[in-house]
Amino acid sequence: MKITDLYIDKEVLDYPATNVICDRLNTSFQVVNNAEDVYGIFANVKTPVEKGKKTLFLTKNKGKFIRQCPGTDYYTCCNYMILHFGIFCTMDCSYCILQSYFHPPLLQFFVNHKDLEKSLDHLFLQKKLTRIGTGEYTDSLIWEEIYPFAEMLVSKFSRQSHAILELKTKTVNIENLLSLRHNRKTVVSWSLNTERVVKSEERQTASIKARLTAAVKCQEMGYPLAFHFDPLIIYPGCEEDYKKIIKQLFANILPENIVWISLGSFRFMPALKSIIEQRFDQSKIVYGEFIKGIDGKMRYFKPLRINFYRQIVSYIREIAPNVTVYFCMEDDEVWLKTLGFTPSEYGGLPMMLDKSASRHCDVF
Amino acid sequence: MHFVSDTVKINHIDSTDTTFKITNEISTDDLIKSINHVGLISPPILKLKANNRYIVVSGFRRIAACHFLGWGHIDARIVSVDESDLNCFKLSIADNAQNRQLNVIEQAVSISKLSIFFSNDDVALSQESKKLGLNVNTGLIKKLKEINTVHAELKKKIATGVIPLTIGLELGELEHGTAIVFSQIIEELNPTLNHQKEIIRLSKEISRLNNVPMSDIINDCIIADTINDPELDRNQKIKKIRRKLKQIRYPEIVRFETKYFALMQRIKLPESIHLIPPVNFEGNTYSINLVFQNLAQFKDINKILNKMQNHPDFAKIIEKELEDN
């Protein structure tokens, strides 16, 4: 993690995590009274995303650590929970919504871990099957370079039987995980894409080969795994490229160790288009055949999505007919025409995923 | 601000110093006629400088007209040599803006010259401009500042209103020759602003997608032929060009829509029944508008609807399964 500017909220100056991170980064820092002091620095910055990826603000999460994943009414959501421990990412993917989601886009790490633990204790006491992940507002494992955060989480989740933690990443920062007693309550998951997409759209991420090698190591240590083909990008020849990656995945990973595979075609808020055009001038992903979806996001024209999903599903089913495959934010028409059923036939998508979690992770 | 009214020798006025000039209007014909007929109604504003000479704050064309008419002296309002440049700019803008509507390029020049005194504070700049009769908000200020980068030929078209400001700025980002080609199309066909934006956006995206210069897309024989087709009127040309660009940019969507409309034609719905598909075919809700004036007409519609539910093409439409057609 290359941090050029480190700011510390005066309230967290003496927190243990703050000290660890300062030691690891070994760089000068500035103490600020509040977040606005840091946000103000971005007011006249011409390239805020670039600056935000090198500027770290250590502070408190003053809101909720556990949140509902933001879905929309029309498309089917999986009722995922987010463990909100940090914001933004050091990797640089063209399609990343975080470029336009936070204002300003800035690396933030919340160091009030005692509050986070209290939130988790409260969640565990509810004894309700919960799927919770850290990879929505940031990458789950980029922070391992400066703070062994996963260690605390994996250990904590291992001591209960109702919730599973998903660590979603495009890195290979798994070394801290390998020696941990996880009790199969942590699912380690990777976002996968074609070599071409990784090369052109995912700057500073690990290669697919490296990601799969890391997944194999986690598999060897007994971790349940998951994979996310999201965003699926449509381009000439993409079907063959995705087929290749799917084959590569199953050449390395046993289907029975996969808790779920999610599929989601590229979708974006209209405001992201100009950011991608400006920041990734060689990228062509925003010039697909998009329409405005019912949630206001740009999505591939539905018949195109359906045809494409049919292909991807058939490639997966050919090798792994029983693995749980689901769509992130699609409607019943897509489910029915590609998978042959709608989630409601199985009690809804949350229930489908809960059942898979139960089978693989011994949660109830 | 303090003025002194005086009569000065025209050859003591340095009209080559354009520090405070905001107009891009050169023609003085109308002014010459007017001054010759009724005299100089509004004296120019000058600033005294060294050696008893003057620079023009406002009134370049009036001075040029009087000079043309052979006047040796001219009545003027003189501001002190100590007057700040900011105040002189304000005078120049106010004097022009209060007498006529400044064109976009003149507004851009005014904002460019004033902005030096307001660093990056566009809110203060907007407030000050409004006091001078220049009604510009911060959004417009941002666009006006960008105009300076636009090529002179385009600036002229923006100034004369041939090309709207937003389109001019967009064309300004293109290679000069391409920008001129597009400006000529706009000038010739005069599409609505939304259609202008659509034509440029589609061309730009096709260009990036296929790695071809934008000019090639316009030179594509069908588009070039359409523009030059004497059989088509202006609206038909615009429609055809938009359709062609959409077809290249969104081939699958256009193919789907074409099939949809072909099926609709086969169902042969009367005008009294209007089937409305989901927006962009994304959702699953179809609706039908029925138009009738009495019970008999309603019964007729009902019969057609009953037949329609068994029509194989109607099922294909509802299922969005259009591949076999």
Lowest mean pLDDT among A17-21, A261-265, B93-97: B93-97
B273 pLDDT more than 50: yes
Rounded to whole angstroms, the Cα distance separating A12 from A25 reads 16
**A6's tokens:** 């480190």
Q: Which has the closest alpha carbon to B82: B114, B55, B58, B48? A: B48
Smallest Cα distance from B83 to chain A, Å = 33
Residues A49-100 have pLDDT tens digits of 999 999 999 999 999 999 999 888 889 999 999 999 999 999 999 999 999 8
Q: How confident is the model at residue B228 (pLDDT cuts 50, 70, 90)?
A: confident
**A313's tokens:** 């599903």
Rounded to whole angstroms, the Cα distance separating B184 from A182 reads 68
Global confidence as pTM: 0.85
Smallest Cα distance from B27 to chain A, Å = 41
Percent of chain A with pLDDT over 90: 94
**Final residue of a structural domain among B59, B84, B109:** B84
The answer to the question of residue B98 being in a domain is: no
- Shared domain for B284 and B237, answered yes or no, is no
| Pair type for strands A5-9 and A30-32 | parallel
Kindly state whether B281 is in contact with chain A, defined as any CB-CB distance less than 8 angstroms: yes
Mutate which: B257, B280, B322, vs A, most A CBs within 10 A: B280
Q: Which pLDDT score is estimated for A341? A: 97
Chain B CB contacts of A287 under 8 Å are 205, 208-209, 249
Residues B3-41 have pLDDT tens digits of 889 999 999 999 889 899 988 777 888 899 999 999 999
CB B208 within 8 A of CB A283: no
Q: Residues A217, A218, A224, A225: is their CA dihedral positive or negative?
A: negative
Smallest Cα distance from A49 to chain B, Å = 21
- Shared domain for B235 and B269, answered yes or no, is no
Please judge whether B251 and A289 are an interchain contact, meaning their C-beta atoms are less than 8 angstroms apart.
Answer: yes
Chain B CB contacts of A44 under 8 Å are 120
Kindly state whether B193 is in contact with chain A, defined as any CB-CB distance less than 8 angstroms: no
Please judge whether B252 and A44 are an interchain contact, meaning their C-beta atoms are less than 8 angstroms apart.
Answer: no
Smallest Cα distance from A333 to chain B, Å = 8
Please judge whether B250 and A301 are an interchain contact, meaning their C-beta atoms are less than 8 angstroms apart.
Answer: yes
**Final residue of a structural domain among B67, B84, B101:** B84
- Shared domain for B177 and B239, answered yes or no, is yes
Average pLDDT of chain A to the nearest whole number: 95
Smallest Cα distance from A284 to chain B, Å = 6
**Final residue of a structural domain among B249, B280, B295:** B249
Rounded to whole angstroms, the Cα distance separating A278 from A271 reads 12
Over residues A182-200, the mean pLDDT reads 97
Q: Of how many residues is chain B composed?
A: 325
Smallest Cα distance from B187 to chain A, Å = 27
Q: How confident is the model at residue A144 (pLDDT cuts 50, 70, 90)?
A: very high
Average pLDDT of chain B to the nearest whole number: 90
| Enclosing domain of residue B308 | 253-319
A251 pLDDT more than 90: yes
A13 pLDDT more than 70: yes
The answer to the question of residue B36 being in a domain is: yes
**A292's tokens:** 């405005």
Q: How confident is the model at residue B148 (pLDDT cuts 50, 70, 90)?
A: confident
- Shared domain for B265 and B245, answered yes or no, is no
Kindly state whether B120 is in contact with chain A, defined as any CB-CB distance less than 8 angstroms: yes
B308 pLDDT more than 60: yes
Given strand A290-292, what is the order of strands in its sheet? A267-268, A298-300, A290-292
Closest partner residue to A302 among B209, B251, B281, by Cβ?
B281
Chain A CB contacts of B320 under 8 Å are 302-303, 333
In CATH, A62-85+113-361 is 3.40.50.300: no
Q: How confident is the model at residue B127 (pLDDT cuts 50, 70, 90)?
A: very high
Cβ atoms within 10 A of the Cβ of B83, count?
Answer: 17
The answer to the question of residue B105 being in a domain is: no
A159 pLDDT more than 70: yes
Q: How confident is the model at residue B142 (pLDDT cuts 50, 70, 90)?
A: confident
Chain B CB contacts of A332 under 8 Å are 284
Q: Which has the closest alpha carbon to A234: A186, A299, A189, A150? A: A299
The answer to the question of residue B167 being in a domain is: yes
- Shared domain for B238 and B226, answered yes or no, is yes
Rounded to whole angstroms, the Cα distance separating A106 from A39 reads 8
- Shared domain for B167 and B245, answered yes or no, is yes
Closest partner residue to B252 among A44, A289, A332, by Cβ?
A289
Q: Which has the closest alpha carbon to A261: A209, A313, A220? A: A313
Cβ burial of A47 (10 Å; 0-12, 13-18, 19+) is exposed
Rounded to whole angstroms, the Cα distance separating B15 from B13 reads 6
Residues B250-269 have pLDDT tens digits of 999 999 999 999 999 999 99
Phi-psi sector, B193: left (phi>0), alpha (psi -120 to 50), beta = alpha
The answer to the question of residue B133 being in a domain is: no
Q: Any bridge partners for residue A210, and if so which?
A: none
Residues B278-302 have pLDDT tens digits of 999 999 999 999 999 999 999 999 9
CB A225 within 8 A of CB A215: yes
Angle at A32 between CA A30 and CA A35, to 5 degrees: 125
Q: How confident is the model at residue A277 (pLDDT cuts 50, 70, 90)?
A: very high
Residues A300-343 have pLDDT tens digits of 999 999 999 999 999 999 999 999 999 999 999 999 999 999 99
Residues A208-223 have pLDDT tens digits of 999 999 999 999 999 9
Q: What total number of domains does chain B contain?
A: 3
Q: How confident is the model at residue B325 (pLDDT cuts 50, 70, 90)?
A: very low
Chain A CB contacts of B286 under 8 Å are none
Closest partner residue to A301 among B205, B208, B252, by Cβ?
B252
Smallest Cα distance from A73 to chain B, Å = 12
Rounded to whole angstroms, the Cα distance separating A276 from A227 reads 25
B222 pLDDT more than 80: no
**B237's tokens:** 């040309």
Q: How confident is the model at residue B324 (pLDDT cuts 50, 70, 90)?
A: low
Backbone φ and ψ for B81, nearest 5 degrees, come out as -60, -25
- Shared domain for B227 and B274, answered yes or no, is no
Chain A CB contacts of B252 under 8 Å are 289, 301, 303-304
* Angle between helical axes of B312-319 and B251-267 (0-180°, round to 10): 150
Kindly state whether A45 is in contact with chain B, defined as any CB-CB distance less than 8 angstroms: no
Q: Which pLDDT score is estimated for B221? A: 67
Kindly state whether B119 is in contact with chain A, defined as any CB-CB distance less than 8 angstroms: no
